[in-house]
Amino acid sequence: MLEALPPSLGLISEARPLIDVRAPIEFAQGSLPGAVNLPLMVDEERRQVGIAYKQQGQEAAIALGERLVSGETKQARIAAWKTYLHEHPDAVIYCFRGGLRSQITQQWLEEAGLSRPRIEGGWKAMRHALCQRIEQAAEQPMLVVAGLTGCAKTTLINQLENGVDLEACAHHKGSAFGRRPEAPATQIDFEHALGARLLALPDKLVIEDESRQIGNANIPLTFWHALQKAPRVRIEMPLDWRLDQLLNDYIIELEKEYTAYCGAQEGWALMQRQLGNALIRLEKRLGNARLQRLQRLQALAFKAHAEGNPQAHEAWLAPLLTEYYDPLYRYHLEKQQASAAPDIHVGDWESCREAARQWSARQPE
């Protein structure tokens, strides 16, 4: 009897190792948190089996799959599963619906002397449960941390036990300049990461003020509507302080990330390309004359940066803030004030962090 576990979110909150035996193309579109892709069939094998299923039925599809994944190919797949299970003996198997592919994987492992359970209902059932958790969270008390660009809202969120970092879930910092070396999360992976974070937070939540779209992902609509109605704390910090934050976050830390990801030479080139393209994406709002001015300042800053002076980036970051991001945020704030709850506190970074902690302490468990 091949064991099947119910689709429990405990598997996610306990960080159980998971083996996703779906094809790589399925895994890339969205997986479960903590899963590794060790497929039963690769993309081309899955494509051929799918065609056989549509044209000739299940028996013909299974027979084709057995021919495609046999001999040395089959042994290589089993060896990959065994290697992972040697390091993660409590791993659980899943496929799309917890059906044929995960059962075949179990059977082959049984024949090789290893017995591991699969998730009943598979990826689909677990995804439903994670999305339900996000829907439920929309009913929880929420506090939103707002403020102009460069006010270190994300840093504040991450210093709170009940903070929810939406940008971390999205693998993106939210603005046109928010791309990182790694690919941004797909919509599915964003929702799964958010659902997984919310599993540990059954009560009050503190969340950064964000646009609905973060990178490639959109905040689920019910959750987004709840954020728009939530009380807020608003950080107000001087321009010089915010420039220091942006310089560190968008330049110095970004360079470190690219260097670690791609190596020094390629990372430096890709970082310049990313920041240059970010300006170009704002052309319609900046206007051609302003864009060209900022591009000249950015080019000079990169030259100075290469000579050891990253501080030179303030020459283009400062007008980007004062002429673009700050007016845009104030317009956004004016629109919100008509429907959102009033700010419960407005002040500097430290006082807003304390206000968020006090708000959290006042909420019922």
Distance separating the N- and C-terminal Cα atoms of the chain: 43
CB atoms within 10 A of CB 306: 12
Residue 218 is given by DSSP the state E
Least Cα distance to 41 among 5, 19, 13, 68 occurs for: 68
Cβ(162)–Cβ(205) below 8 Å: yes
- For the annotated catalytic residues, the residue numbers are 95
Contacts of 67 (CB under 8 A, 6+ apart): none
H-only helix segments in 263-338: 264-281, 283-286, 288-306, 314-320, 326-337
Cβ(149)–Cβ(317) below 8 Å: no
H helix or E strand, kind and range, residue 58: helix 58-68
Question: Which two tokens mark 30?
Answer: 């969205």
